[in-house]
Structure 1
């Protein structure tokens, strides 16, 4: 006795549904992705007439708030720990660059403390951030 089976259709992939799913996934990942942001410390950068646009280095960002608080890559750091943290960063990367973001109301004393800490750690290059515009006379 011979059994006959129904002829089977070859399976196909429905591309329209696949494209819909991929678009939904793409939108989901774009919306949920966290972007690199600067620390949430509110500072007002000083203005400079002669400031230059510099290429952003992959280095350390040291933010100094007007009340004297310091943040190294968005992590709070005390003034007495700054040299050790910079030395540790220099051991990991001998060519590390410190980019300083200081509020325009930050005292010169605090900025000199930061520069001295970088020099003690053996880091010579310090980029400072300013806003473009007319500097106060």
Structure 2
């Protein structure tokens, strides 16, 4: 794996709010092994398992975020200003999707917070 990939492991771990020890526990490694991987001093098999673990955790978080968003928007129902709020959020997502990779990642997190119909519409825009 390239150095950028190793830095990505650390960034992804931090975005998930995990310590090196916790990621290691989930992937079946100790904390020093995770540290070495983030510094580019681990074998490819270790890096691959860390990436696999992070990917599974990210998908799990996205599923939870989407379920919570759906419950929230259902509870909001037809409250005043709901449509206007959704239009504003969707407008921000559109701007972010046209930006940098970091902006696109932020946009995806924002999309995950929208109700299902909005998620489908925004995902299908490209």
Note whether the superposition's TM-score is higher than 0.5: no
**Which of 1 and 2 has greater Rg?**
1
TM-score, normalised by the number of residues in structure 2: 0.25
